[in-house]
Copies of this chain bind each other. A is one copy, B any other.
Amino acid sequence: MPTSITRTYSRYSRDAAALFGALIRQARNELKITAQELADRAGISRGLLQRIEKGNLKCEIGAVFEVAAIVGVKLFDANDSTMTKHLHQTKEKLTLLPKSVRKKSKAVHDDF
């Protein structure tokens, strides 16, 4: 076997993903929609949704975010501390937020 690349994950990453998945599943159950329906709405397969809800770390983050957004589990809520805490300090991030579009001074340095 030619060097299979087994990635290691920290405890924190595993816990975070597991909890995030559990939140999604809980929200889905409260909404009373089936796994198949949620998967369809997110544009993913039911199998992938299963892995997301189990906290599998080898899922693309886009799929996870989509599912989470649909059922209403959002990491980044406008009035939530997790993000806003970090937000008020820097200027770099302003270019990223949809609301405040800054005009660049001279050349294009940001590629977002």
A residues sitting closer than 8 Å to B (CB atoms) are 7-13, 15-20, 22-23, 25-26, 43, 54-55, 57-66, 69, 73-77, 80-83, 86-87, 90, 92-93, 96-98, 111-112
Contact = CB atoms under 8 A, between A and B. Distances in A.
A10 B82 contact: no
A73 B75 CA distance: 12
Given A8-B43, A17-B61, 13 more contacts: A7-B63, A9-B66, A12-B65, A13-B65, A15-B96, A15-B98, A19-B97, A55-B112, A58-B61, A60-B61, A61-B61, A73-B86, A80-B81
What is the count of identical protomers in the complex?
2
Contacts of A9: 62, 65-66
